Amino acid sequence: MTGPPPTTPRPEIGLPISPSAARNRAPILAVLRDRLPPRTRVLEIASGTGEHAVFLAPALAVARWQASDADPATVAGIAARFAGAGVDALAPPIRLDAAAPDWAATARAAGADPDAVLAVNLVHIAPWRVCVGLMEGAGALLAPGGLLYLYGAYKRDGRHTAPSNARFDAALRAQDPEWGVRDLEAVAETAARNGLDLAEIVEMPADNLSLIFRRRPSGRRGFDAADQVAGSRSS
């Protein structure tokens, strides 16, 4: 060896760490790797600690990963994590509130022109209006065929898929009555109204789901949301 061994950039000490991100990032990567080609441009909504971005952006060889969050302090924390990550594809994080009516325009003004929009563990830890705004903005930003990816716990046919999700739902609603595990059919219906068709449902560890939506070509009529849920491939 003629020089010092290569080093791997590490996040700065003192930054927050999300245990759930550490658990779910590899399963999420396995889903996205088969669905996002290299050089994809990604917009992540509600990036939280930024750990998903640091892990997924190099693993997926994206062209640009635009992280965002509604909370300015959280955006500052993401920027600090990115500074020590050594990943060129990570754009400076921006403040985006998915419940704001103009968030898609704000994203565009920041240089985001995404092929894919991602939101991990968002719609159940936020008021319903955030889900509505997410679908409106993603529908406006994505070109036909563009991908919207959601990860989290969902009810199916109005019922929890596991006792653990029922307990999780109760805990969320105790923390904030506007939060809670959402009905998959309601999420799909909201997406469909904004030109986003539910293409796939992928079962994930710990009774979570990955939902894959695709932007419908303009002018083409979508299927009924309930039919989309029933007909989406579950794997």
Who has greater pLDDT, 79 or 235?
79
- Residue-level pLDDT at 17: 92
Question: How do beta strands 233-234 and 182-183 pair?
Answer: unpaired
All structural domains of the chain, each given as residue ranges with its CATH number in brackets, are: 26-41+103-234 (3.40.50.150)
Chain-wide mean pLDDT for the chain?
91
What is the average pLDDT across 172-178?
98
What is the percentage of the chain residues whose pLDDT exceeds 90? Answer: 86
Instruction: Judge whether residue 170 has pLDDT over 80.
Output: yes
Q: In the structure encoding, which two tokens stand for residue 63, read together? A: 């062209």
Measured N-to-C along each axis, helices 51-60 and 72-83 cross at an angle, to the nearest 10 degrees, of 50
**DSSP secondary structure of 150-166:** EEE-EEBTTB-SSHHHH
Question: How do beta strands 208-215 and 147-152 pair?
Answer: antiparallel
User: Tell me: the pLDDT tens digits for 67-107?
Assistant: 999 999 999 999 999 999 999 999 999 999 999 999 999 99
Q: In the structure encoding, which two tokens stand for residue 6, read together? A: 């290569």
Measured N-to-C along each axis, helices 19-33 and 51-60 cross at an angle, to the nearest 10 degrees, of 20
What is the average pLDDT across 36-51?
97
